[in-house]
Structure 1
């Protein structure tokens, strides 16, 4: 399967640069994955497609201020660093820009010296392993010096950093937001509960696996970067009981989808626990746990668009994307949403 098969035309002006004022008033394209029928709604209308006995699965990860701007100790050249995941105490896997300057042994200073780092290794993915040095608690210094790591296609500075968090974000650890969940408000979630829909919270800390570009021509050769997940006994029980009574499991986002499909057995039963997942879902994959999907509109040639095509069929998805472009939907992190069921 070739990478070029997942390319599509997207006018640059459709890339959303900032969130709309009311999260739940974004647009919603509803795609029937069986018939291919498309409807155009507002996101808060998602409640009309949920039924008592269904289960909505949300990723409650929280974005950390993972972007650090520093300088090389010897030359004072600017270095940008994005934290991906902890490896050990004070040791992190990171992305560095410009990477060619970050040799093993390179020392980097942040702020007025409150934080320093030393490159100790280079990863298979082109990242770096660094050791941090600090006198005050690391999280305290990070929140003082770090910035929200919004994607590079967002050129505007985010005025309210909480808008790059879901309203249910509680577990710090992500380098990017699970953006499908940005459309929910607490009021909408409460209406969904009152309708008799269960809400299960799981965790996947979004890292390089989610947003790393595919660079190989044959997509089957792409290797996903592992990301950490947690599923509680309570969440697993909620999802499994939904399956037992014939309800639908609606995953909010590709991160929730990948987590559920990682831990589900052949019958779709979810096992609680924690670990690392590098699952790569592309057309031909047989879903075991997820019945419906809420997701944003994704980058061309990304692993995310491949997952969506695996779920609903490439032809139907690309037809829906073409209609979304024609109807001037807003794309990517701060853009509009799709419900596929």
Structure 2
């Protein structure tokens, strides 16, 4: 009788375990990681976060200027007054406007039916570290999300809170989350660097900007190996005053885009797949203020800063719907609208 009771108990437990295991939420076929083209309809993204009363301005020296060649002289002059201080101590209104502009971007995108995820606030404080630019710490290509290797030490701290989102994607989405190989502390020639602002996805062709400020050739080679022979990864050389490829180019669809030709070392050497594009051309001073840096919602809709109405007019002449929003504060630190988001899912 005792044996029989134990046997029944085991059977009951087995049935309970089977039901419990099979009731655990599994990846839904509609919850995918997917980013195959810059212009496919976007449905889910990560947008960074500007945290008020938190950004500490570094001391502005020649060494700092050399480290950030993409920051304009006007921005450095702006920072000199607040160097060594929290931004809001000297510029409280600007600090609030940074926050307001980014939150407004989220509202506009959500009004278009796009799901928006946000990183938590950073728990570790460091000079010149913030997290409004979610384009760079994570990179989505095909069905992979890559945890990127950032170039500057101050920015590497940003990666931590995106790992929390990546963990959820790994557990609950169809796709793959990939960590890049660990790097040495500081800047080393043998480190592997890859940042999302440099990476453009055009089907099986991937473009990676190389300016010496972010991604490097080792990053291009690592990415090619990671993606495999189905993909072709092109390194594109940029002038050293350019931070990322998206500071010089935007692909609106498979044949139209916005570009600053002067920001390329050799524009005529672009990959064959880009040579027949019809371009809205902008000047270097416009590109430095992110005239090429927008959010492509689909192949006929783009969100851009309202700082360049003439550029928007020329984009509209292509038959593209242009949504203009205030987005100028992020430019002070070398960022724009594309810098502020990373797609998780495009149709």
What is the TM-score when the length of structure 2 is the normalising length? 0.30
Bigger relative contact order, structure 1 or 2, given CA contacts below 8 A and separation 6+? 1
Higher helix share: 2
Higher strand share: 1
